[in-house]
Amino acid sequence: MILKKDIQGLSVIAKRVKAKVNLIGYNEVADCAYRSPIKKEMDVFSQALRNKGVRVTVRYSAGSDISAACGQLRLKKASIKG
């Protein structure tokens, strides 16, 4: 869910420090309630930031189909340790 306050808050900070924002979708992992954003959500969020004058790059993750994307391997390692 895209919240206007998130867009506003991030844009204020990014412009203050002259940052370029890299948007990377969350990689889903088993036993977590969070979900990956759909492409349309990423597009809407990135465009809203651009409309506020923020430089934005949307980055797409690879490896999620085999549970090897960023964050997914960490969870497997933590689960193995017990």
* pTM metric for this prediction: 0.71
**Closest Cα partner for 40 from 61, 25, 57?**
25
pLDDT (tens, 9 = 90+) of the chain, 82 residues, equals 678 899 999 999 999 999 999 998 877 766 777 777 888 999 999 999 999 999 999 987 665 565 655 555 555 555 555 5
56 residue type, one letter: V
Domains assigned to the chain: 4-81 (3.40.50)
